[in-house]
Structure 1
């Protein structure tokens, strides 16, 4: 689809983060709980208080690095989301950094260059839902470990980086494009969950202008791909239409209608015969 791969990983200390986030400047942050940090001497100190405040880069970095002794990762999730949401809001449509000398067509060569490029345009923040893995077969050592929702991961990655994560893991699976006029992540996640359970690859998810039509519409180029796939048991009633246009690599385009929303609410459980997606 985009034929683009982005890979940027950085392990940063306090000084690195100060330099990296310095161009963003002061941010307005909203915290749902106090942020505390336990120092090397074992003493715990208050880093930031609950509520809305404008903070400088030093305080912002302090929130990102804060770790209270024996605190689970889940307790830090909201603090990190608040910090990155504040950064995204401050960046707005882009910082337009004056010292950015890189060619926009060239791939950033290091993490700092990648972040500078990121800050030069609008940013959106999405935090994946993470569920604690209880002690047991999957977590025999009772580690502070969390699992992600495969359907949510597939939905988001199919929105921002089409074909990067497709969900089913089934060789030769049909590649599907989902168009949703509902502007509701819950609806998009549910159709992804159901299509992956059938064994489809969800290559692309888009929000499209509404209002939604009554029946879900499935558009195809080759009618043979519709044979024996049992879609009605998973997505409810639909109509089909042949099209001459499709994105490269896409075999079915599904435009969601009100019929799917009603069907998924009335039938929350999947049919018994499904392809179980691997954990991601």
Structure 2
């Protein structure tokens, strides 16, 4: 029996799925795909690769992952959960080829190191590298954090390890069209604004304990707590300056400036505007 299976989320990923499948083909691991209504060749590509495919309408990433983890009848002791726009590098593939469940008896989760690409360029600075994602964990132990509305992360009780030098590459080729990026993040800003309103109303709490010097996800939780305490409208400016100058985002060149400006400033400013709009609607109803 294989030591791990892959789960992949898809929606119109014909442009991405073949390269991901090619990068994991030699691992001969069971493959499961949860699709949210693709209208291109995504499902056919997945089935041709031998994947078990299920369909489920999309609400947000945490709920979609929750459905995937609780739907597929998976028999391997470990799961690897990937997005369709990610690629397993040869270094990571070698680590997985050498992986044996018995060698990780006291481990419940493994972080992969990610390299993020935008418009064909690796965005190396601005705090985006190294960046660790919890992508591999024991079946029945790791779960999707439903207290997040847009950012999706898995929670694994117990001990985890980081594979620092075995990378996932992440590049959404659709985002080479800036209209796609803007429309996508405009939708995401709705989810983030609504989530922050619910946190103000104490309807949501962080599942992960915030710790600055803890695991990568505990550190993210600590930084989110700090973010929520900062004044709206000024915090996007502070964050962009921090990333672009203090974390050397300017070294990523012109493409890096576009990415850091849009992702660190524009997106978060739109979120703050939408929070105020939601608060105004609440006041008007009251």
Do both proteins adopt the same fold according to a TM-score greater than 0.5, normalized to the shorter chain? no
Task: Please classify the TM superposition score into its range, dividing by the shorter chain length.
Answer: under 0.3
Scaled by the length of structure 2, the TM-score of the pair is 0.27
Q: More helix per residue: 1 or 2?
A: 2
Scaled by the length of structure 1, the TM-score of the pair is 0.28
Larger Cα-atom Rg? 1
Structure scoring higher RCO (CA < 8 A, sep ≥ 6) equals 2
